[in-house]
Structure 1
Amino acid sequence: MNITVARLTVRGLLGRRRGLLLLAVPALLLVLSLIIRATIGQDESTTVNLLGTLALGTLVPLLGLIAGTGAIGPEIDDGSIIYLLAKPLPRWKIITTKLAVAIGCTVAFAAIPTYLAGVILFGNFESLALAYGAAALVAGIAYSAIFLLFGVITRHAVVVGLIYSLLWESILGNFVSGVKDLSVQQWALAVAGKIADPGVVSSAVKLPTAVPLLIVVALGTAVFAAFRLTRLTLAGEE
């Protein structure tokens, strides 16, 4: 990990509109949780639906998209990536540093708020808050790696990422049986199902399948992103 690259990446992610989005998305989840708890009270079904559908199914991939693409995409788009590529710094170290920053953002703005939302909605009963917090953590890692790769391979990373999140994860991943097996959300739900009390959280994928897939996707996309970055010239073209 390179400290200079990490500092510049953090500055780029937390500045301008991305910083506001990173704050607004978890704030929305927490405010909504407070409203639901005040109006409905402590309800297991409502907590599972909100954390599984809104938090894990929508907000976590959105935050992963903002962090993953924002960690490197803008530098490639405006050509400032050449300043990094011109330095005697291994390309894999650039990728791992930016991925570490993106993961840190998803932990701060996705995993922790999801856990807090669970505590607000249902307290610590049945380990629901911890289960969905852990699910948001592992899903955030996978999404950060996937969207970082999108930022490297296409100048339309945000558009491609939105299509992936909305179409593949939110729609097909929830309703089409064959696609569920390849959904990050379902893999994360398998982790949540292991932590929560038995039978509270369900997933279409079993834990022994979900964990290796999460690891393979996170590592595989990071390795491929580093490989693609090595093919960029100082002009920013392959």
Structure 2
Amino acid sequence: MYDPTVARLTYRALLGRRRALILFALPLLLIVISVAVRALSGVDDQVASDLLGGFALATMVPIIGVIAGTGAIGPEIDDGSVLYLLSKPVKRPTIIVTKLTVAIAVTMAFSALPTFVAGMILNGNGQQVAVAYTIASLVSSIAYAAIFLLLGTITRHAVVLGLVYALVWEALFGSLVAGARTLSVQQWSLAVAHKAADGGDLVTSDVGLPAAVILLVVVTAGATWYAGQKLRTLTLAGEE
């Protein structure tokens, strides 16, 4: 279920000059802000948790997921080049799984690593804050990549819709509106992070761990399956 050629082409598309600049921008901003906050306020576990939760997990990770997930397949569908790929003897589920794997890897690399570095800068992993939010970033990267890869297969406006989801639902409603938190990838990943932080008060979630794990698996598997089904409907003539 993994094709090296498809993976290589996808990595090349995602890490091209213009897209790579966008991918580097938010992690760099996170690091710069972390350095400034540490210089101004010193070591503060609560400040570290607020910054990693409010900016890194709620904003940076989903936006990078949008770029990686939609960019893994959306442009190929838009310009018709995916039809060349579909003409090759590669099973369509294999194409989706390969592209999802690449999208997950890119999202993790550009979100989890900067989150860990920022956490170490802010409070040196005091109360396991850096590790907890890094785990949350890794977990959420999987779900976001699957969701936004699916968007890339079903609409030409995937980036716009993905950004609306990331900035409005996850960053705003998912953080502030109690009822919406249950349906937030951010909150699901925080439930896993809370466990990793030994149940501390700095990393909390409105969703219990069993429910969070089930929802993460169901959403990731469901989005991947449906993306495969949508790709199956594409014909070499480009008609659905």
Q: Which TM-score band (shorter chain)?
A: over 0.9
Is the CA contact (8 Å cut-off) linking 2:31 and 2:118 kept in structure 1?
yes
- 1:234 paired residue among 221, 232, 236: 236
Q: Give the AA of the match of 1:6.
A: A
Is the 1:149–1:225 Cα contact (8 Å) retained in structure 2? Answer: yes
Which runs of structure 1 show a deviation greater than 6 angstroms over 4 or more consecutive aligned residues? none
Aligned to 1:117: 118
1:69 and 1:147 in contact (8 A); partners too: yes
CA distance in 2, matches of 1:173, 1:78: 34
Which amino acid is 1:232 matched to? L
In the alignment, which of 212, 218, 221 is matched to residue 220 of structure 2? Answer: 218
- 2:58 is aligned with 1:57: yes
Q: Which of these residues, 196, 204, 207, is aligned with residue 206 of structure 2?
A: 204
Structure 1 unaligned segments of length 5 or more: list them: none
CA-CA distance at 1:207 after TM superposition:
0.8
1:102-113 superposed matches below 5 A:
102-113=103-114
Deviation (angstroms), 1:146? 0.2
Q: Matches of residues 1-238 of structure 1 in structure 2 within 5 Å?
A: 1-197=2-198, 198-238=200-240
> Conserved in 2, the CA contact under 8 Å of 1:73 and 1:157?
yes
1:211 partner amino acid: V
Select between 13-22 and 58-67 the one with higher mean Cα deviation.
Answer: 13-22
Q: Percent identity?
A: 59
Unpaired segments of 5 or more residues in structure 2?
none
Q: Deviations over 1:218-237 (max 9, x none)?
A: 11100110011000111333
Aligned-partner residue type, residue 47 of structure 1:
A
Alignment deviations for residues 65-92 of structure 1 (CA, whole Å, 9 cap, x no partner)? 0000000000001110011111111100
How many residue pairs get aligned? The number is 238
- Distance in 2 (CA, whole Å) between partners of 1:59 and 1:44 is 20
After TM superposition, give the deviation of residue 16 of structure 1 in Å: 3.1
Letter in 2 for 1:134: I
**Equivalent residue of 2:139, what SS?**
helix
What TM-score, normalized to structure 2? 0.97
Once the two structures are overlaid, the 10-residue window that deviates more, 133-142 or 25-34, is: 25-34
When the two structures are superposed, what TM-score results if normalisation uses the length of structure 1? 0.97
Report deviation, 1:18. 1.0
Amino acid across the alignment from 1:158? V
CA distance in 1, matches of 2:202, 2:55: 17
Is the 8 Å Cα contact of residues 76 and 236 (structure 1) preserved in structure 2?
Answer: no
Query: Which shows bigger deviation, 127-136 or 170-179?
Result: 170-179
* CA apart distance, 1:110: 0.4
Residues 45, 126 of structure 2: 8 Å contact kept:
no
- 1:207 aligned partner, one-letter code: L
Kindly provide the amino acid, as one letter, of the partner of residue 173 in structure 1: G
What one-letter code is carried by the residue in structure 1 that aligns with 2:93?
W
Aligned counterparts of 2:79 and 2:28: Cα–Cα separation in 1: 30
Q: Tell me whether 124-133 or 66-75 shows the greater mean CA deviation.
A: 124-133
